[in-house]
Amino acid sequence: MRSLQENGEQKVESKIEEAVAPLREKIKDLEKSFTQKYPPVKFLSEKDRKRILLGVYCFNCGLQVFGIQVFSAGLGMNDFDICVLRRDEITKEKVGQKDEKRNVEHWIGHENFELINHDVVEPLYIEVDQIYHLASPASPPNYMYNPIKTLKTNTIGTLNMLGLAKRVGARLLLASTSEVYGDPEVHPQNEDYWGHVNPIGPRACYDEGKRVAETMCYAYMKQEGVEVRVARIFNTFGPRMHMNDGRVVSNFILQALQGEPLTVYGPGTQTRAFQYVSDLVNGLVALMNSNVSSPVNLGNPEEHTILEFAQLIKKLVGSRSEIQFLSEAQDDPQKRKPDIRKAKLLLGWEPVVPLEEGLNKAIHYFRKELEYQANNQYIPKPKPARMKKGRTRHN
Ligand SMILES: O=c1ccn([C@@H]2O[C@H](COP(=O)(O)OP(=O)(O)O[C@H]3OC[C@@H](O)[C@H](O)[C@H]3O)[C@@H](O)[C@H]2O)c(=O)[nH]1
């Protein structure tokens, strides 16, 4: 009799334990988020505090640009995780109200953080010490979608940020790009190479936009004494990229995870070298706080063909997806690999995250996102070359 009662009690206990275990996990996660370390700004004197403006691009608001201001003793990976590369998704209307501000929710309400909703094409009047000018779409399908706005963001937007830097005496870091080298005739690309860009091709809005943005930086430096830093950023990937980003890393991972064909544009012999986001962030922060005012390449020199890259992602995901060859994108650079000797020598910086390790982190992120989206009845597909007014975006 007694043992029957004990058995019953044990069953009830194990059922309770089963129900409570996931709640315990949730509490652990919540506790972790509370113990996050932030810079000890409160105890710094006014002269040691830095007001840092991070201008980022918002994916879901079309080309509306958001500014994020962090009041900080200095910037580190934790501060940057909210926005670098993501340049998007501060709001997620497509997914639903619940998801609004999901990407920055762990920062909302923090005393050192302020979210500014602002379009960089309009002047901005704030007090700030450092400006990371990252505002621009960076994915080819995105920047080609509205080339005029891409041009305005990179030209008028850059003028506005330089004007702000001049007015308040701030230092400005421009997120430039390996695309200033165009379809390069020099390989690997070093900072002295002037590039090979088609000024009237479909990529010109971004390539030439960034080239003139660099020109503006050096005009403001020479004429007005503004302190500028120019990072030429090579292909970068990592968690928090948008599901509809349209660049090759997110496309291939999502296609592999969903059992869909991996879409290779052209024969797949074109090469790229991919760096992981944390390496880029460390490079940007090192450059901002250095005395190097000339352009610096930031990228990982490990070069692969796009076909090799598709095969690698298939292997890492464990996917049976086929590889599908689509027509080549117009003016697609045929090879790209950064020469990073300057960054190594002058910043003491080089990438440390191996490609496969970074890809596994990105795969883990996208797998979770797919689960999350499925629970919210929204499963986005990787973006194909979108049509606008009867034209494909690549041609
Ligand atoms: O689904 C796809 C997407 C892309 N690709 C190919 O993969 C290569 C890389 O394409 P991505 O769209 O990821 O990026 P790109 O190298 O063309 O441009 C990038 O360059 C550096 C950065 O400044 C920018 O983030 C972006 O402009 C290209 O050759 C492209 O044609 C595919 O084969 N399939």
State the catalytic residue, choosing from 132, 145, 181, 206.
Answer: 206
> Angle at CA 182, nearest 5°, toward 83 and 138?
20
pLDDT in tens, 83-130: 332 333 333 322 223 333 555 566 666 666 777 777 888 888 888 888
Q: Whose CA is nearest to atom 22 of ligand 1?
A: 235
Cα Rg, the chain, nearest whole Å: 23
Give the separation between CA 274 and CA 50, rounded to whole angstroms: 31
pLDDT in tens, 274-326: 999 989 989 998 999 999 999 999 999 999 999 999 999 999 999 999 999 99
Give the separation between CA 29 and CA 31, rounded to whole angstroms: 5
ipTM over 0.85: yes
Q: Is the pLDDT of residue 181 over 70?
A: yes
The CB of 136 under 6 Å from ligand 1? The reply is no
The CB of 85 under 6 Å from ligand 1? The reply is no
CA 55 to each of CA 77, 82, 135: distance values in angstroms, whole numbers, following the listed order: 16, 12, 5
The CB of 270 under 6 Å from ligand 1? The reply is yes
Which of 100-104, 155-159, 175-179, 281-285 comes out lowest in average pLDDT? 100-104
Q: Is the pLDDT of residue 143 over 50?
A: yes
Please give the distance, rounded to the nearest whole angstrom, from the Cα atom of residue 160 to the centre of ligand 1: 29
Please give the distance, rounded to the nearest whole angstrom, from the Cα atom of residue 337 to the centre of ligand 1: 13
The CB of 57 under 6 Å from ligand 1? The reply is no
Give the separation between CA 136 and CA 120, rounded to whole angstroms: 9
The CB of 175 under 6 Å from ligand 1? The reply is no
Please give the distance, rounded to the nearest whole angstrom, from the Cα atom of residue 27 to the centre of ligand 1: 40
Q: Which atom of ligand 1 is nearest to the CA of 328?
A: 31
Q: Which atom of ligand 1 is nearest to the CA of 265?
A: 33
Asked if residue 336 lies in contact with residue 272, where contact means CB atoms within 8 angstroms, the answer is yes
Type of residue found at 38:
Y
Q: Which atom of ligand 1 is nearest to the CA of 309?
A: 7
The CB of 134 under 6 Å from ligand 1? The reply is no
The CB of 233 under 6 Å from ligand 1? The reply is yes
pLDDT > 90 in the chain, percent: 55
Reduced 3-state DSSP string for 302-342: CEEEHHHHHHHHHHHHCCCCCEEEECCCCCCCCCCCECCHH
Q: Is the pLDDT of residue 193 over 90?
A: yes
Please give the distance, rounded to the nearest whole angstrom, from the Cα atom of residue 51 to the centre of ligand 1: 34
Q: Whose CA is nearest to atom 7 of ligand 1?
A: 248
How much is the average pLDDT of 156-174? 95
Q: Could you confirm whether 143 is annotated as catalytic?
A: no
The CB of 138 under 6 Å from ligand 1? The reply is yes
Phi, then psi, of 329 in degrees rounded to 5: -80, 140
The CB of 39 under 6 Å from ligand 1? The reply is no
pLDDT in tens, 199-246: 999 999 999 999 999 999 999 999 999 999 999 999 999 987 888 889
Please give the distance, rounded to the nearest whole angstrom, from the Cα atom of residue 67 to the centre of ligand 1: 26
- Residue 382 token pair: 């990787």
Give the separation between CA 208 and CA 177, rounded to whole angstroms: 11
Give the separation between CA 200 and CA 177, rounded to whole angstroms: 18
Q: Whose CA is nearest to atom 4 of ligand 1?
A: 248
Average pLDDT, the chain: 83
Asked if residue 234 lies in contact with residue 80, where contact means CB atoms within 8 angstroms, the answer is no
- Residue 22 token pair: 């996931």
The CB of 177 under 6 Å from ligand 1? The reply is yes
The CB of 205 under 6 Å from ligand 1? The reply is no
Q: Whose CA is nearest to atom 2 of ligand 1?
A: 248
Give the separation between CA 237 and CA 248, rounded to whole angstroms: 9
Please give the distance, rounded to the nearest whole angstrom, from the Cα atom of residue 275 to the centre of ligand 1: 13
Please give the distance, rounded to the nearest whole angstrom, from the Cα atom of residue 313 to the centre of ligand 1: 15
Give the separation between CA 284 and CA 365, rounded to whole angstroms: 23
Asked if residue 84 lies in contact with residue 77, where contact means CB atoms within 8 angstroms, the answer is no
Please give the distance, rounded to the nearest whole angstrom, from the Cα atom of residue 248 to the centre of ligand 1: 5
Q: Whose CA is nearest to atom 11 of ligand 1?
A: 247
- Please tell me the pTM assigned to this model: 0.82
Give the separation between CA 42 and CA 200, rounded to whole angstroms: 51
